[in-house]
Amino acid sequence: MKIKILNRLHNIEIVEDVLTSCNAAIMRNNLNKIFIVNDIAKELRLEYLLHECVHNINHQLNLGFDEAMTDRLACGLTSLIKDNDWKKIEKEILNAK
């Protein structure tokens, strides 16, 4: 799987372990990779992915988010994405007069 963040393509890998003490996901900017541990609940994977994407955006744009801000934004974005039909919204916005 791949995801583009600020014009940089990142590989997303589901792995057994991310080699850190307590993380379920981690981004390695130098490798352009996001690792997500496979034993977390599937319904949480999107939130963990978005959390790592927010870290990357924060890092690249020097926004100054702390971990709590990153968590809250990832949670809000997950809800926004899951609770809406984005293809329909995009079509309606593009076709609006």
Parallel, antiparallel or unpaired: strands 2-5 and 33-37 = unpaired
pLDDT digits (tens, 9 = 90+) for 43-66: 888 999 999 999 999 999 999 999
The ranges of the chain with pLDDT < 70 are 18-22
pLDDT at residue 38, as a whole number: 85
Cα separation values, 87 from 12, 21, 94, Å: 23, 38, 11
Pair 16, 38: CB distance under 8 Å: yes
Listed by start position, the domains of the chain span 2-95
Q: What is the DSSP letter of 84?
A: S
CATH number, domain 2-95: 3.30.2010
pTM equals 0.82
